[in-house]
Structures are given as structure tokens and as C-alpha cells.
Structure 1
Amino acid sequence: MNAAPADILLWFRQRWQVEVTFAELRAHLGVEIQRQWSDLAIARTTPALFGLFSLVTLFTHYLQAQHPFQLSTSAWYAKSLPTFVDALTTVRRTLWATRLFPGSPEIGTAEKVSPELLEIWCDLLCYAA
């Protein structure tokens, strides 16, 4: 096949996006390590995980448009866009804070954990879960 160098680079760039998607699906959602006994079960699970990946991505895009959030930083590089881990953490934090665990009603004045420490714990759990 005769292809122009520019076409080859374009194809590689397009494939790279797909490769990154697969790598993140394997690393964070367990694609390719499902523990089903039948090929049919695996054939149903993999599309569901791809759907979950898409939902997390879309929900993060929606949340980012409403309230831009702070990206996690590293000592060795600065990010301009969220990674899938950032997206998953943002979705977890949003669901845990507003939907699943709305918090206790304001009764009494006892404070067992400071709000700052609770925030740190929540960040750790969102990234680790």
C-alpha cells in the first residue's frame, strides 16, 4: 500500500486515542480481567464497561461545564485536561456527596472530624476506590 507520510501520521494519531481509551478501561474499570465463566457473559460485560466509561466521561464533561474543578497535580507535570482518573474521582465525589451520602442533619454541636480532614479523606477515597 502506498500512503503519504501525512496520512500515516494521521492514522497513528487516531489510533493513539483508541489505545489510550483501552489502556484506561483496563486500568480503571477492569476490562479484559472479567471473571465470568462463559464467552457470552464476557460479551455482555465488555460493552457495559465501555458504556460506563462513556457515562463517566459525559458526566464529567457536564460537571466541568457547570463548575470547573481543580485537577490533581504531580511534581513532574501539569495537566491542562482531566485524565480518566480525574473524571472518575469527580463523578464519585459528586455522587457520594449529593446522591448517595447526603450527610447528617445539623443536630447538636459535636464535631468528631474536622471538615478539612473529612475533605482530605474524601479525596483519598475518591482516588483509591
Structure 2
Amino acid sequence: MKVVLLREDVTDTGYDLALVSTDLTAPAGHLVARYASRWSIEVTFGEARSLLGVGQVRNRTPRAIERTVPFGLYCYTITVIWYTLHGHHPQDAAEHRTRAPWYLTKTHPAFSDMTAKLRRTTIAARFMPIDAGQPTDTEIRAVQEARAAASADLA
């Protein structure tokens, strides 16, 4: 086993990070780069477990076990894509800092912010009146009747 111990310049005691590898030939810089490249993946797995419950269900059948984790990760992906395309607002991080002033350095929304905004948007869509841009049932029926009358005239 190869162990690489890392410490910030300002740290006087102990180490900030310990990396362990079975690759005895890899230089320390390569191990640090490999660790850094996996960080976003590990964060994704951690958030999927803690916020979406991925991997925590009690399935019994082999097919359910095979499907549950990928489905949870699909949900994670769909949430991030929705937020990127439709939910993001430049002021989201600033609003979060206003609600939680201890997040002084927060500059980007976390996945928990994305899921909270998706919940709020979904609830608002269910309970808010119909958007003025949406056609009413009467308008839809009028268009359908006009199409039916036009096709009858052509026949």
C-alpha cells in the first residue's frame, strides 16, 4: 500500500487528507489528480443517497435491486437538467445566503437547492390558477369543433 499525506501550508498539526492506493508505482501527484477527478462523482453518490434515498430501499427481487439505484441516479440527473434548463436563476445563491447568512462563500446552488426549487415549482404548478398563456377548456373545444367543421366541409 502507498500512503500520501497532504497538509495545507497553514496547518501546523496533523494532515488534511490521507490518500491510500495499491498502485505502488504511481507518483504522488498522479494519486492526488485521480482523487480530485473522482471528487464530483463521490459528491453525486453522496447527495443521491442522502437526498434521494438511492441505495437505501429494501428491495427483495433481483430485478428490483438492479433497477433501483440506476433509477435514483436518473432522477438525480433529470433534476440537475431541469434546474439547468428551467429552474436556475442567477440570484438563487444570493437568496440562499440571505436565508442562511452562515453560507458566506456560497456562490453556486447545491443539489439540495435544486431539489427544493423543484418541489416549490411542482407544488406551485399544482395549486396556482391556470397561467394566462394556457388555453381554457372552452377555447380548446372551440378549436376542436372548428377543425371538425373544416374537415367536414372538405369531405
Name the one with the larger helix percent.
1
Matched, 1:60 2:87: no
Consecutive unaligned residues in structure 1, runs of 5 or more: 105-129
Q: CA deviation at 1:46?
A: 1.1
Shift of 1:75: 3.8
Q: 1:12 to 1:94 in 2, by over 3 A?
A: same
Q: Select the residue among 71, 81, 96 that pairs with 2:108.
A: 81
The structure whose Rg is larger is 2
Does residue 93 (structure 1) correspond to residue 120 (structure 2)? The answer is yes
Q: Which amino acid aligns with 2:37?
A: Q
Provide TM-score, normalisation by structure 1: 0.68
Contact 1:56 1:87 in 2 (8 A): yes
1:37 matched residue in structure 2: 60
In the alignment, the residues of structure 1 paired with residue 102 and residue 33 of structure 2 have an alpha-carbon distance, to the nearest angstrom, of: 29
How many Å apart are 1:35 and its aligned residue? 2.2
Question: Unaligned stretches of 5+ in structure 2?
Answer: 1-23, 131-155
- How many positions carry a matched residue from both structures? 103
| 2:61 aligned partner, one-letter code | S
Partners of 1:33 and 1:64 lie apart in 2 by: 28
| Secondary structure in 2 matching 1:81 | coil
Structure 2 CA distance for aligned equivalents of residues 69 and 58 of structure 1: 18
> CA separation in 2, counterparts of 1:59 and 1:5?
39
Aligned partner (choices 35, 38, 45) of residue 12 of structure 1: 35
CA drift at 1:64:
4.9
Ranked by relative contact order (alpha carbons within 8 Å, sequence separation 6 or more), the top structure is 1
Instruction: Judge conservation of contact 2:55–2:68 (CA < 8 Å) in 1.
Output: no
Structure 1 position 101, deviation (Å): 2.3
> Structure 1 or 2: larger strand share?
2
Equivalent of 2:128 in 90, 97, 102: 102
Residue 48 of structure 2 corresponds to residue 21 of structure 1: no
Aligned to 1:2: 25
